[in-house]
Structure 1
Amino acid sequence: MRFDVITIFPEMITAYFQAGVIGRAWARGCFAIHTWNPRDFAPDRHRTVDDRPFGGGPGMVMMAPPLLAAIAAARAANPGAPVCYLSPQGRPLQQPAVGRMARRPGLILLAGRYEGVDERVMAAVDEEWSIGDYVLAGGELPALVVMEAVARLLPGVLGHVDSAVEESFGESGLLDCAHYTRPELMDGSPVPEVLLSGDHGRIRRWRLQQSLGRTWERRPEILAQRGLRSGEAELLEEYRRQRGETQCDQREGVGDEHH
């Protein structure tokens, strides 16, 4: 996988990948990163890449000629890779799309700045993606989000072969279950017994049930869209019943304290 990022702040991209598991994977050659600064393609000695918008209004707009020249250079170096523009107006980035991106040989990510890019640049853009309904100073952070989300699905990036598919929005399409590590007992709060049992079948069942329950509680729209698979309705009903009984016991306990 090769990432080409078009940005006026290339140091922001490379600096991020100096640390962490993704950074170590980059150092091992699991994927490649190349940056293209539109200023290098500006025709004037001031390396100008922005100008005031026609029609007036606040802010500046990134000019088409330097961006189009940078895109052309990136396409020549990364043939077949789609040009993806990071913008609040794009399609919401979700895990299935990330999975499809990870199966491509490369991506060209266009990071805008200021009030955005000259609309004529969009003729050279293949896809437009958003990481959320909010506005940032530029497209570098969204580009990094895309790069990390994609990179962690690539072979050899994560330490455990199952890590990429067992977390939230992995193959199950559910939120991740709760995780525990040492100590086994902390401030009166123990690790669930099933995780200490050594019974891998019970553990898998518990984790699936917890994922179902968390998704039902926190992101019900995901569960509604995904639906329930074989045996999951029973697991979720058991989870809901247990939660209801626990909440009832807690309410009764609080009431007892007042007598």
Structure 2
Amino acid sequence: MRFDVITLFPELFAPFLISGVTRRAYEAGLVEVRLWNPRDFADGNYRRVDDRPFGGGPGMVMQVEPLSLCLEKIRADRLEAGSPAAPVVLFSPIGEALNHAGVEAWSASSGAVLVCGRYEGLDQRFIDTYVDRQISLGDFVLSGGEVAAMALLDAVARLQPGVLNDEGSHQLDSFNPALDGLLDCPHYTRPEDWRGQRVPAILLSGNHSHIERWRRDQRLALTQRQRPELVQKARNAGQLSAGDEAFLADLLENPEKDA
């Protein structure tokens, strides 16, 4: 798959693409990332890409023409390379919230053109003409879309075959359907006793069925406390067993009880 990123700061992506476990996806070509700077398509000695908003107000707005020329060059380059047409995605506070299901869909796609806004945003005419989808990381505002673009790329890259050391590890991630959309349970490693805090004895028991039940209970307890709507979603989907429901009922009656 191929992602083309329109950004005024392509240098921000350099360390990201060569660091961590996800670099395997980029090095192997499983996820191809090409960076495009709209400033290269701007006129004048200063290659200006922004201007003051009509109607007044603070801040600057990214101009439509450099963005449009940049996108047209990307489309021509994709066509020449034999890459399929790609949707144009803008990272924006008004966009749909990115979630696990969305990441899985993108990880199985042929890619996209990711537009990283800056300043007060983009000229609306570019959005109206070209943008197919808008995506948000949450109810807050970043100084630019680059962090959001890297978040999407990272989430997509780690789902590619051979990227993680253990192929099944992402199946145990929070929000994964394999966990019925619940949050993941706590994890422990050596030493067994750290400053008086011991690893739960059941994890050292060797009884795998009991360990799995403990982990399930922990997931249920953590999700009920932190994201109860996810428990209800699993319940509505018929994903909770009688044992799950009994545990949750007891947890609600004894909220201070250790799971």
TM-score by length of 1: 0.88
Moved more, 15-24 or 112-121: 15-24
38-47 vs 230-239, which moves further: 230-239
Residue 219 of structure 1 aligns with an amino acid whose one-letter code is: R
CA RMSD of superposed structures (Å): 2.1
Query: Structure 2: where are the runs of 5+ without partners?
Result: none
Unaligned runs of 5+ in 1: 250-259
1:192 equivalent in structure 2: 200
Whole-Å separation in 2 of the counterparts to 1:245 and 1:46: 66
Look up the match of 1:253: none
Call closer, same or farther: CA 1:220–1:191 in 2, change over 3 Å: same
Task: Pick which of 235-244 and 52-61 moved more.
Answer: 235-244
Residue matched to 2:234: 226
Contact 2:5 / 2:116 at 8 angstroms: preserved in 1? Answer: yes
> Equivalent of 1:142, from 140, 148, 165?
148
Kindly indicate whether residue 236 of structure 2 is the aligned counterpart of residue 241 of structure 1.
no
Aligned twin of 2:185: 177
Instruction: Give the % identical residues.
Output: 45
Instruction: Give the C-alpha shift of residue 230 in structure 1.
Output: 5.0
* Counterpart mapping for 1:76-155 below 5 A: 76=76, 77=78, 78-122=83-127, 123-155=129-161
Tell me the CA shift for residue 94 of structure 1.
0.9
Alpha-carbon distance in 2 for matches of 1:86, 1:233: 42
Contact 1:4–1:36 (CA under 8 A) maintained in structure 2: yes
- Tell me how far apart the structure 2 counterparts of residues 114 and 40 of structure 1 sit (CA, whole Å): 18
Q: Deviations over 1:208-238 (max 9, x none)?
A: 2211111111111222233264553422532
CA, structure 1 residues 131+165, in 2 after alignment: closer, same or farther (shift >3 Å)?
Answer: same
CA drift at 1:73: 2.2
Deviation at 1:182, TM superposition (A): 0.5
Q: Distance in 2 between matches of 1:213 and 1:161?
A: 27
Could you say which residue in structure 1 is the equivalent of 2:65? 65
Q: Distance in 2 between matches of 1:156 and 1:101?
A: 17
Q: Work out which of the residue numbers 152, 163, 178 in structure 2 matches 1:157.
A: 163
- Name the residue aligned to 2:31: 31
> What is the deviation of 1:43?
2.8
Instruction: Write the deviation string for residues 11-34 of structure 1: whole angstroms up to 9, x where unpaired.
Output: 112222221111243223332111
Q: Distance in 1 between matches of 2:197 and 2:249?
A: 21
Higher mean displacement: 25-34 or 102-111? 25-34
Which range is displaced more, 199-208 or 167-176?
199-208
CA distance in 2, matches of 1:159, 1:214: 27
Partner secondary structure for residue 256 of structure 2: helix
